[in-house]
Amino acid sequence: MNSGRNNRVVVAGAGVGGLAAAALLARKGFDVTVIERQRYPGGCAATFSRGGYRFDAGATVGCGFQNAGPLDLLGCDLGLSWPALRSPVAWEYVSGDISLPLSSSKRTLLERFPRSLPFWEDQERLASILWKLSGDILPWPPAGAVDAGRLLGKAVSSPSSVVHLLRFLNGTALQWLASYGLDRESAFVRFIDAQLLISVQTTAAYASAVNAAIALDLPSKGTCRLTGGIGSVAEELAASVERSGGRVVYGLEATALEVAAKKVRAVVCGNGESVPADVVIANLTPESLERLPGAMVSPRSVIPGAGRPCAEWSAFVLYLGVREEVFSRCADHLQIVRSEGALGEGRSIFVSVSPSDDARRAPEGFRAVTVSTHTRPAPWFDALNRGKDEYKALKRKYTRTVLALLGERFGGLEENIGLVAAGTPVTWERYTGRWRGYVGGYPQTSLFRVRGPLTAHSNLFMVGDSVFPGQSLPGVVTGARRVVDLVERVCGQ
Ligand SMILES: Cc1cc2nc3c(=O)[nH]c(=O)nc-3n(C[C@H](O)[C@H](O)[C@H](O)COP(=O)(O)OP(=O)(O)OC[C@H]3O[C@@H](n4cnc5c(N)ncnc54)[C@H](O)[C@@H]3O)c2cc1C
């Protein structure tokens, strides 16, 4: 059990990916130190306090907690039970006159789009193969003979699954819809586009069919609400690291790596301290890691010839304190989408309302509401470069746009708002250290255009949503398991 005790692992960043790797390694006996620049853990999946509220910063929906899902398995391995309660509805999709509560039952969805039944049957079959394949460590992209052997083992053990998977390997989600004649059903394509944008970060015309299959499965697998907010996940993981003898140090930023003979020897911190390491795990985006003096990311992390996956989106987020009567009888989460126009930039929003019985989240009679929309970072940084007034004007414009769409669904909204705060790509960069505020990882357009955890240093690994399988809590936890395996291999365990 304590085989790793002499190996010092330093994890830069206490996001869910970094903490999952740290907690598993600490549990296995490694000497783990997590360095986090903020005063609290969670990054994009943090919950922060402001004006008597606890707001979910970015992520709001607890995915992957279903039986044998990535978070369920992680909880079992760490001996912890999540403060998670199953939600009857994952989220409600609202667009024009369409209103679809998404849950494990597809009844309403099929009533609205009856011709889509064979597509959903196919999607469920593919998703169940993928959940099975990713159940333990998913060695993709392979990092040498051991991984290649494991992939071959998976293929040999279920050849029919692999044959089925091959059918979809190079196709897009839109081609898949077309094979069922659904590509011309514009309201259905818009629905699928909206689901894919919030999960695989691109729409059906570009999304890989394989990634789409898993993403479209999330509502039917069941989602959870986390008591205290989504940040409870990171808080539980940080506590688990400490229970296993590790350290989580807040308010400390990794500012450089000390490298000798191509190996990282220590992580240099903002306070001048140098933390010696046998292995370093960077819970940073590749763009942020590349900017740390000493670190070299490429070329081992990408599949040669497949192109370098790059993030494209950031988020504009409103944090609202609202009187609770505005939200009577609505689902905890709603996706509101205009019937026309490109998605994102205030034309599609994801709304999460804190549960009325979670007293930690809001003052009595109020709810903590997080509303997000995809936005491109460049205009925000351009505006900032032109001066604070331009940046503030852009922020006001987006605030008005988002409140207008929300107000169409919830009458009397504006008169009942007690607190408004806005987060932009500039805020995301400042709070999470993610260069240019890129969040959500890379658009999942191909299984081959992905990034693995390897870097140019044999003892430096990346974890988080820039690394396969990408964004979401289940995504980064699955990626963290892979990193734990690689760390054990490099440490000769
Ligand atoms: C608006 C939005 C909505 C989302 N909704 C959902 C959802 O509903 N469900 C879901 O499952 N997922 C959702 N996601 C995705 C999910 O939040 C992320 O994929 C996941 O949390 C990313 O985790 P990560 O491991 O990459 O770490 P990050 O969240 O990127 O955290 C990295 C951590 O490292 C710290 N750090 C950075 N640089 C340094 C440094 N140099 N030194 C020390 N510390 C450093 C940061 O402060 C941060 O705490 C959403 C994301 C966003 C932005």
HEC string of 104-120 equals CCCHHHHHHCHHHHHHH
Of all protein residues, whose CA lies closest to atom 18 belonging to ligand 1? Answer: 472
Of the residues 317, 472, 478, which should be mutated to test ligand 1's pocket, given the most ligand atoms within 8 Å of the CB?
472
| Strand partners of residue 95 | 98
- Taking the centre of ligand 1 as the mean of its atom positions, its distance from the CA of residue 95, in whole angstroms, is 28
What would the mean pLDDT of 469-478 be, rounded to a whole number?
95
- Taking the centre of ligand 1 as the mean of its atom positions, its distance from the CA of residue 78, in whole angstroms, is 21
String of DSSP letters for 315-368: EEEEEEEEEGGGGTT--SEEEEE-SSS-SSTTSEEEEEE--TT-TTTSSTTEEE
Of all protein residues, whose CA lies closest to atom 11 belonging to ligand 1? Answer: 472
> Given this model, what pLDDT does residue 63 score?
95
Q: Which architecture, in CATH terms, is 8-52+64-84+230-307+450-490?
A: 3-Layer(bba) Sandwich (3.50)
> Given this model, what pLDDT does residue 230 score?
98
Mean pLDDT of the chain, nearest integer: 94
Of the residues 10, 47, 56, 283, which should be mutated to test ligand 1's pocket, given the most ligand atoms within 8 Å of the CB?
283
Phi/psi of residue 279, each to 5°?
-140, 140
pLDDT digits (tens, 9 = 90+) for 6-64: 899 999 999 999 999 999 999 999 999 999 999 999 999 999 999 999 999 999 999 99
User: Is the Cβ atom of 269 under 6 angstroms away from ligand 1?
Assistant: no
What would the mean pLDDT of 193-221 be, rounded to a whole number?
96
The enclosing H or E element of 485 equals helix 473-490
Angle between the N-to-C axes of helices 70-78 and 231-243, in degrees from 0 to 180, rounded to the nearest 10: 30
- Taking the centre of ligand 1 as the mean of its atom positions, its distance from the CA of residue 92, in whole angstroms, is 24
Find the angle CA(253)-CA(256)-CA(259) to the nearest 5 degrees.
140
> Given this model, what pLDDT does residue 137 score?
81
Backbone angle region of 248, left / alpha / beta, with phi > 0 → left and psi within -120 to 50 → alpha? beta
What would the mean pLDDT of 87-98 be, rounded to a whole number?
96
* Ligand 1 atom nearest 479 alpha carbon: 25
User: Is the Cβ atom of 377 under 6 angstroms away from ligand 1?
Assistant: no
Q: Please count the CA atoms within 13 angstroms of the CA of 118 that sit on its side-chain side.
A: 8
Of all protein residues, whose CA lies closest to atom 47 belonging to ligand 1? Answer: 432
What would the mean pLDDT of 403-414 be, rounded to a whole number?
95
User: Is the Cβ atom of 344 under 6 angstroms away from ligand 1?
Assistant: no
> Given this model, what pLDDT does residue 292 score?
96
pLDDT digits (tens, 9 = 90+) for 121-176: 999 999 988 887 776 788 889 888 888 888 888 787 777 777 778 888 889 999 99
> Given this model, what pLDDT does residue 377 score?
98
The pTM for the full model equals 0.96
Query: Given a cut of 80, is residue 4 above it in pLDDT?
Result: no
User: Is the Cβ atom of 469 under 6 angstroms away from ligand 1?
Assistant: no
Of all protein residues, whose CA lies closest to atom 45 belonging to ligand 1? Answer: 13
423 or 165: which leads in pLDDT: 423
User: Is the Cβ atom of 309 under 6 angstroms away from ligand 1?
Assistant: no
Of all protein residues, whose CA lies closest to atom 6 belonging to ligand 1? Answer: 59
> Given this model, what pLDDT does residue 490 score?
93
> Given this model, what pLDDT does residue 169 score?
84
> Given this model, what pLDDT does residue 6 score?
81
What would the mean pLDDT of 75-81 be, rounded to a whole number?
97
pLDDT digits (tens, 9 = 90+) for 295-351: 988 777 888 888 888 899 999 999 999 999 999 878 899 999 999 999 999 999 999
User: Is the Cβ atom of 445 under 6 angstroms away from ligand 1?
Assistant: no
Q: What percent of the chain has pLDDT over 90?
A: 84
Of the residues 44, 348, 468, which should be mutated to test ligand 1's pocket, given the most ligand atoms within 8 Å of the CB?
44
String of DSSP letters for 129-174: HHHHHTSS----S--SHHHHHHHHHHHHH-HHHHHHHHTTTT-BHH
Of all protein residues, whose CA lies closest to atom 48 belonging to ligand 1? Answer: 43
Query: Contact 485/342 with Cβ under 8 angstroms?
Result: no
User: Is the Cβ atom of 17 under 6 angstroms away from ligand 1?
Assistant: yes
Query: Contact 455/461 with Cβ under 8 angstroms?
Result: yes
Query: Contact 52/46 with Cβ under 8 angstroms?
Result: no
What would the mean pLDDT of 378-402 be, rounded to a whole number?
98
User: Is the Cβ atom of 283 under 6 angstroms away from ligand 1?
Assistant: yes
User: Is the Cβ atom of 374 under 6 angstroms away from ligand 1?
Assistant: no
- Taking the centre of ligand 1 as the mean of its atom positions, its distance from the CA of residue 16, in whole angstroms, is 7
Nearest to 133 by CA among 213, 200, 192, 237: 213
Query: Given a cut of 80, is residue 277 above it in pLDDT?
Result: yes
Query: Given a cut of 90, is residue 237 above it in pLDDT?
Result: yes
> Given this model, what pLDDT does residue 299 score?
73
Of all protein residues, whose CA lies closest to atom 52 belonging to ligand 1? Answer: 58
Angle between the N-to-C axes of helices 70-78 and 16-27, in degrees from 0 to 180, rounded to the nearest 10: 40
> Given this model, what pLDDT does residue 3 score?
55
Phi/psi of residue 244, each to 5°?
-90, 10
d(CA 455, CA 40): 27
- Taking the centre of ligand 1 as the mean of its atom positions, its distance from the CA of residue 42, in whole angstroms, is 6
2 — pLDDT class (breaks 50, 70, 90): very low
> Given this model, what pLDDT does residue 135 score?
67
Nearest to 236 by CA among 71, 5, 12: 71
> Given this model, what pLDDT does residue 435 score?
97
What would the mean pLDDT of 220-241 be, rounded to a whole number?
97
User: Is the Cβ atom of 434 under 6 angstroms away from ligand 1?
Assistant: yes
> Given this model, what pLDDT does residue 1 score?
42
User: Is the Cβ atom of 335 under 6 angstroms away from ligand 1?
Assistant: no
Query: Given a cut of 90, is residue 385 above it in pLDDT?
Result: yes
* Ligand 1 atom nearest 463 alpha carbon: 25
420 — pLDDT class (breaks 50, 70, 90): very high
